[in-house]
Amino acid sequence: MSYRVVHYINQFFANIGGEEMAHVPPELREGHVGPGLAFNQAWKGEAEIVQTIVCGDSYFAEHEKDAKAQVLEWVKEAKPDLFIAGPAFNAGRYGYACANVCQVVQDELGIPVLTGMYEENPGADLKEKVLIVATTNSAAGMRKAAPTMAKLAMKLMKGEALGASCEEGYMPNGIRRNFFEKERGSKRAVDMLLSKLAEKPFTTEYPMPSFDRVAPNKAVKDLSKATIALCTSGGIVPKGNPDHIESSSASHYGEYCIKGVEKLTSETYETAHGGYDPVYANENPNRVLPVDVLRELEKEGKIGKLHDYYYATVGNGTAVASAKKFAAEYAQKLLQANVNAVIMTST
């Protein structure tokens, strides 16, 4: 039995007409229509387009909610293994429709989706949400786009792991995947430098992200009444690392009670961190988590109280998304415990 596919195309590719017919509402046809033939041929019987949904681009733009609802109804009925749309090349409203209809099918029905378009098509704004194959800017690129899309579609239907974007032909979707290049890194660097020096085009292998900046809170007005908590990404844990926090790429954080602990000692605490020389932190863990100093300040009345619990993880090689998740969780605990301020130590 072959895999079953539903294909979405616009009025132009269904041969209904151009701009003058862009108002046509969604229509369901059996089998493949227009560009669907190229996919069917590439799949060689392993998969087949069972139905084609045709919709005018203006209709989709002006009645997006209705159009999506109609598509969802038909796709739900058809229960395909894959929903494929386009490719839209540089047709803006068509690209927008393809990407959005794919997103709703994927999110509402949990069916794998795939579309294709030119990278400057406005629909490509959704490239991190749905899988989009990069095509040329005109339909003349169909001969190249069809096999790329068909191959990727087959992987999705079989549930196989995807390779890196540049290997598979999809637009970078924010998920970094490893693969083996043909040339070693140093050669690629020299080639890239020669292009850059000659002001020829080159493609960076890692486009720089824009960073999340956090504005500092206002200063604590009266420290002598404040409860201060200690938190660290320096990996200070009770001796033996009871929660098995990883030495790099931590998957969790630990919550540890320091009520009545006057200072950390090498007998009772240590670091789990694998990214720095552990000797000095193990000798005197207060160097990373300054419980001793905070206790002194507590006695002197300079701070109200050191919070009874501290939170610790290992920052070494830990994904920013993981770190953000840990902090979001224990920040709530700190708020519930009426902690006024946190000293976060890093290493």
Partner 1 sequence: MKLELGFIQIRDIQFSKECKVESGTLYVNADEVKDFIFQDDDVKACVKAAHFDIAKPGESVRITPVKDVIEPRVKVEGPGGEFPGVIAKVDTVGSGKTHVLRGMAIVTAGKIVGFQEGIIDMSGPGADYTPFSKLLNLVLVCEPVEGVHQHEYEHAVRIAGLRAATFVGELGRSLTPDETQEFETYGIKEGIEKLPDLPRVAYVHMLQSQGLLHDTYVYGVDAKKIISTLINPTETMDGAIISGNCVSACDKNTTYHHQNNPVVADLFAQHGKTLNYVCNIITNENVYLADKQRSSDWASKLAGMLDLDGVIISEEGFGNPDTDLIMNCKKTEQKGVKTVLVTDEYAGQDGKSQSLADADPLADAVVTGGNANEVIILPPMDKVIGTLDYVDKIAGGHAGSLRPDGSIEAEIQVITGATNEIGFNCLSAR
Binding residues (CB under 8 A) for partner 1: these are: 164-167, 172, 174-190, 192-194, 196-197, 202, 204-206, 208-211, 244, 246-249, 251, 274-279, 315-322
- Measured in whole angstroms, the distance separating CA 119 from the mean position of its chain's CA atoms is 19
Residue 87 Cβ vs partner 1, minimum distance, rounded to whole Å: 21
User: At closest approach, how far in Å is the CB of 214 from partner 1?
Assistant: 14
Q: What's the sign of the alpha-carbon dihedral 286, 288, 289, 293?
A: positive
Q: Which residue has 């339909």 as its token pair?
A: 139
Shortest Å distance, C-beta 237 to partner 1? 13
- DSSP one-letter string for 31-48: S--TTHHHHHHHHTTSEE
CB nearer to partner 1: give 1 or 328. Answer: 328
Give me the least distance between CB of 197 and partner 1, in Å please.
Answer: 5
Q: Note whether 172 and 165 are within 8 A (CB).
A: yes
Rg (CA), the chain: 28
Closer of 247 and 265 to partner 1 (Cβ): 247
User: Among residues 175 and 219, whose Cβ is nearest to partner 1?
Assistant: 175
Q: Which is nearer to partner 1, 206 or 300 (CB)?
A: 206
Distance in angstroms (rounded) separating the CA atoms of residues 22 and 41: 28
The distance of closest approach from Cβ of residue 112 to partner 1 in the complex, given in angstroms and rounded to an integer, is 18
Using the minimum distance from each CB to partner 1, give the nearer residue, 34 or 275.
275
* CB of residue 235 to partner 1, shortest distance in Å: 11
Q: Exposure pattern of 68-97 as b/e (b: 16+ CB <10 Å)?
A: bebbeebbeebebbbbbbbbbbbbbbbbbb
User: Which residue, 1 or 175, has its beta carbon nearer to partner 1?
Assistant: 175
Residue 248 is given by DSSP the state S
Q: How far is the CB of 210 from partner 1 (least distance, A)?
A: 8
Q: Are strands 82-85 and 27-30 parallel, antiparallel or unpaired?
A: unpaired
Polymer length in residues for the chain: 347
Nearer to partner 1, 44 or 196 (CB): 196
Q: Which residue has the tokens 């041969």?
A: 15
Q: Which helix (H) or strand (E) holds 65?
A: helix 64-78
